[in-house]
């Protein structure tokens, strides 16, 4: 063979080897687009190695669905909305497809398939990483996005770490993590929604896939961010708005809004693992009342049961639970009980026998019921992905509701079992389309919360309180959430703040943490600081574990008792503000507890680790939490003017201020222009406040609006239009406060409005609907004095604000106040 022929043959062999290696690569790319079908707001694509479907859900939301095989019919436990009629433009040529709404454009390149989300002016919002895009390694599917210069990432719900998640990776696999560390991942909940921020642009991505999922925001690479799952389809919703508040609102519209909670659930909750017997429960309740500590709830942990068996009572500890709940109710307390999903395998045990008969337990692939070990011993587990399983659970819950239980606490619903290794071959009904544990695991908690909410709602015919530990996107439709078994440590207190802020971004407005820490014993100062912060979070629950010292407010000395009582008292006076903020969450998804990034998205300082724990409580307050051991702390004031809550001193925004810290008061500030409705002091929400609503207005330079809301706080009459809704506007330019005409059929409890003006110059009088009203100048304290209990003994006076006060009748008609 001559040299030329030899070289030619060698070249062909080399090319064949390369082609063979490429064909056998373990990474499968989508490849080039072969066929495109456009039908209204839907574009169907067939490519070399995959199928894709693009649906315009709204001008600002586009869904992307990709699979190696023909796409499966739509089904989601998380998404409750459907595509809205949207005007779009579509065009294509040999190299690309273009989809344009009035908010954004999507450019799809054909060779190979790649997605590019752009503003209408052509700026990159988010785009696939060239050469990687979406691909598979076996059944694992991942989408790779080009990381933009300076890009930040926030969200993902209950994730530890910093506010800005850049440089980190996270896994979604709901896990029972007792005493988790401050950087542990994963923990209890899966909410695969995040927000990306760069170049004055922000966007959201919700990856609706219930398999174990992984998110990478530049961890171990400097090229891309990515999200993927161990199985299932690539299925994500892309959201683009100019404002982060609108991104959160679009996500909430996709996955549903929380219902209005019962008013009592916003009060202080006293918990322990565990309070027993019934005399101890009553002692705790009585002591709260004797010491004038406002409270609304007491919770029973697993020791109320007979040998930890669900739907039973230990007759020695709780001989008459109905009488107990009645006594508590008479004292102004609502009773919450814990429920775990495990049903003990025990002949003669009613729930077990009935569950077997109704055939509602999850099973192995051979049809045998799965058995795992939890508190009662070996247990079967209801299948909450089955309508029959949910109906069974709802029926069982009625035994609690009939005796007066008003709150259901869903625990251990990851599913948690000893060993934490449920086999993959356990099957779930999944609405008559069986799936394995791999796909069902992350939604088990969501579906348990759903069954509990529906059962409690039906049984009570009043708003129930539901709490869950495990969750998936959409859980807000049924339940509040708390952050599990935290530690009594300074860093856990601040981590808890970040967890709640992140849950708020991610569609879970009603969230809390174990105040004081679940494991271990807090120091006196840590407990005091944590209780102060607790007054400014949505779900205010004090809870500690077994084998820890008592953690009631009186257990840390008289000074701490005064401090904590001060802040619980403030919480109760703020309930009209908090309740109205909750109402906002039920209609817009806007959380009550808000990271500063929501309204200061492009201010780099809010992501600084020195300031990342600061947050807003509703639209008015900014809270700056610090370790209880700190004597000074740096506080960043965002744009605007900020009043010190306690003395009305004003700090201009866009600056850091090193602030002295004192255990007697938590750093709290009020944004200029704020409108804060408050009521008289209560010991529980079972009491009625006086008939005067105090309306605190803080002088500012920009107009502000507040949606004030009332209803009866316990029934579903609000869903029938029986509510009181009123827009209150402060307009500094024309020196006017306006209370618009009332919307709704509910009659307000408040007959008098007391206007309390902060930061205004001397006002000898004001005009209310054209009539003069006298103004009085007074001092006002949000807190009471704190006594020092030492040999000398002295009191620290409370800081005071100088306010102008005027009162007028509260009518349903519009009220115009001229200052």
Active site residues: 411, 414, 485
Strand locations in 713-785 (E):
724-731, 736-739, 752-758, 765-768, 771-774, 776-780
d(CA 277, CA 294): 23
Residue 761 structure tokens:
């110059």
d(CA 671, CA 700): 8
For Cα atoms 210, 211, 212, give the angle at the middle one, nearest 5 degrees: 115
Asked whether the CA dihedral 267, 636, 516, 413 is positive or negative, the reply is: positive
Residue linked to tokens 């027993």: 276
CB-based burial label for 731 (10 Å; 0-12, 13-18, 19+): middle
- Are the CB atoms for 314 and 303 separated by under 8 Å? yes
In this structure, the dihedral spanned by the alpha carbons of residues 207, 213, 219 and 221, taken in order and rounded to 10 degrees, is: -80
Hey, which residues does 372 pair with through a beta bridge?
379
Strand locations in 134-200 (E):
134-137, 140-146, 152-155, 169-172, 189-190, 193-198
Buried/exposed code over 45-73 (b: 16+ C-beta within 10 A; e: otherwise): bebeebbbbbbbbbbbbbbbbbbeeeeee
d(CA 214, CA 194): 12
Give the strand order in the sheet containing 363-364: 363-364, 426-428, 435-436
3 state SS of 374: strand
**Residues contacting 189, CB < 8 A, separation 6+:** 157, 158, 174, 445, 469, 470, 471, 472, 475, 481, 503
d(CA 594, CA 53): 35
d(CA 798, CA 122): 56
- Are the CB atoms for 176 and 422 separated by under 8 Å? no
d(CA 597, CA 137): 36
DSSP codes, 185-250: ---SEE--EEEEEETTEEEEEEE---S-EEEESSTT-SSEEEEEESSS-EEEEEEEESSHHHHHHH
Residue 55 structure tokens:
């649906």
Which has the closest alpha carbon to 796: 806, 808, 809, 781? 781
Distances 652 to 453, 620, 649 between C-alpha atoms, Å: 45, 15, 10
3 state SS of 693: strand
Strand locations in 714-758 (E):
724-731, 736-739, 752-758
Which has the closest alpha carbon to 699: 668, 736, 754? 736
3 state SS of 805: strand
DSSP H/E element including 50: none
Which has the closest alpha carbon to 514: 776, 272, 319? 272
d(CA 272, CA 249): 36
d(CA 720, CA 586): 15
């Amino acid at each position: 063979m001559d040299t030329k022929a030899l070289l030619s043959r060698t070249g062909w062999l080399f090319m064949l080897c390369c082609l063979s290696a490429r064909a056998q690569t373990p990474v499968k790319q989508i490849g080039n687009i072969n066929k495109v079908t456009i039908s209204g707001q839907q574009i169907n694509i067939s490519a070399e190695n995959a199928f894709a479907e693009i649906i315009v859900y709204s001008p600002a939301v586009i869904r992307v669905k990709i699979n190696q095989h023909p796409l499966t019919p739509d089904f989601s436990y998380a998404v409750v909305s459907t595509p809205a009629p949207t005007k779009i433009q579509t065009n294509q040529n040999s190299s690309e497809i273009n989809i344009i709404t009035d908010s954004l454009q999507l450019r799809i390149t054909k060779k190979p398939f790649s997605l590019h989300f752009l503003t209408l002016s052509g700026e990159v919002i988010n785009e696939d990483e060239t050469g990687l895009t979406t691909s598979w390694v076996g059944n694992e599917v991942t989408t790779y996005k080009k990381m933009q210069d300076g890009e930040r990432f926030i969200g993902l719900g209950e994730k530890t770490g910093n506010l800005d998640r850049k440089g980190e990776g996270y896994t979604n696999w709901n896990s029972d993590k007792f005493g988790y560390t401050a950087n542990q991942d994963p923990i209890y909940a899966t909410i695969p929604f995040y927000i990306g921020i760069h170049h004055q642009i922000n966007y959201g991505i919700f990856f609706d896939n219930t398999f174990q999922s992984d998110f990478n925001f530049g961890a171990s690479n400097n090229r891309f961010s990515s999200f993927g799952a161990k199985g299932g389809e690539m299925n994500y919703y892309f959201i683009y708005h100019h404002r982060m508040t609108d991104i959160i609102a679009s996500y909430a519209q996709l996955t549903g809004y929380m219902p209005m909670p019962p008013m009592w659930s916003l009060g202080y909750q006293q918990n322990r693992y565990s309070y027993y017997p019934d005399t101890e429960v009553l002692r705790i309740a009585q002591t709260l009342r004797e010491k004038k500590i406002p409270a609304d709830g007491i919770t029973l942990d697993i020791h109320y049961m007979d040998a930890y068996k669900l739907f039973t009572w230990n007759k020695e500890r709780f001989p008459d639970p109905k009488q107990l709940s009645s006594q508590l109710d008479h004292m102004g307390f609502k009773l919450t009980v814990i429920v775990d999903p495990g049903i003990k395998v025990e002949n003669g045990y009613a729930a077990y026998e009935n569950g077997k008969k109704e055939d509602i337990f999850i099973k192995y692939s051979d049809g045998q019921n799965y058995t795992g070990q939890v508190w009662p011993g070996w247990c079967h587990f209801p299948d909450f992905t089955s309508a029959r399983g949910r109906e069974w659970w709802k029926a069982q819950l009625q035994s609690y509701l009939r005796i007066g239980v008003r709150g259901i606490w869903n625990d251990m619903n990851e599913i948690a079992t000893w060993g934490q290794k449920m086999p993959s071959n356990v099957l779930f009904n999944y609405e008559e389309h069986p799936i394995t544990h791999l796909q069902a695991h992350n939604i088990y908690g969501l579906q348990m919360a759903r069954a509990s909410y529906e059962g409690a709602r039906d049984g009570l015919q009043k708003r129930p309180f539901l709490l869950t530990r495990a969750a998936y996107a959409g859980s807000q439709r049924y339940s509040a959430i708390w952050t599990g078994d935290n530690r009594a440590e300074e860093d856990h207190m601040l981590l808890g703040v970040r967890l709640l802020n992140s849950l708020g971004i991610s569609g879970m407005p009603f969230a809390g943490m174990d105040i004081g820490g679940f494991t271990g014993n807090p120091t006196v100062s840590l407990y005091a600081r944590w209780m102060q912060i607790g007054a400014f979070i949505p779900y205010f629950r004090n809870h500690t574990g077994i084998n820890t010292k008592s953690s009631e407010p009186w257990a840390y000395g008289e000074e701490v008792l005064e401090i904590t009582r001060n802040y619980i008292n403030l919480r109760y006076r703020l309930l009209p503000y908090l309740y109205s903020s909750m109402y906002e969450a039920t209609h817009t998804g806007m959380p009550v507890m808000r990271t500063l990034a929501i309204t200061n998205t492009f201010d780099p300082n809010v992501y600084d680790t020195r300031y990342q724990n600061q947050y807003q409580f509703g639209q008015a307050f900014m809270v700056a939490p610090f370790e209880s051991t700190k004597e000074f702390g740096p506080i960043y004031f965002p744009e605007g003017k900020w009043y010190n809550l306690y003395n009305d001193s004003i700090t201009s925004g866009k600056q850091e201020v090193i602030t002295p810290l004192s255990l007697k008061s938590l750093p709290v500030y009020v944004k200029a222009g704020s409108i804060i409705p408050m009521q008289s002091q209560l010991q529980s929400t079972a009491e009625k406040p006086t008939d005067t609503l105090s309306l605190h207005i803080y002088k500012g330079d920009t107009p502000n609006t507040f949606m004030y809301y009332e209803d009866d706080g316990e029934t579903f009459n609000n869903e029938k239009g029986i509510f009181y809704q009123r827009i209150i506007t402060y307009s500094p330019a024309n020196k006017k406060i306006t209370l618009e005409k009332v919307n709704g059929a509910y009659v307000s409890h408040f007959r008098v409005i007391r206007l309390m003006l902060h930061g205004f110059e001397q006002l000898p009088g004001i005009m209310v609907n054209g009539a003069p009203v006298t103004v009085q100048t007074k001092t006002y304290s949000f807190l009471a004095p704190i006594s020092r209990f030492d040999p000398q003994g002295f009191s620290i006076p409370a800081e005071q604000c100088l306010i102008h006060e005027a009162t007028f009748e509260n009518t349903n008609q519009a009220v115009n106040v001229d200052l």
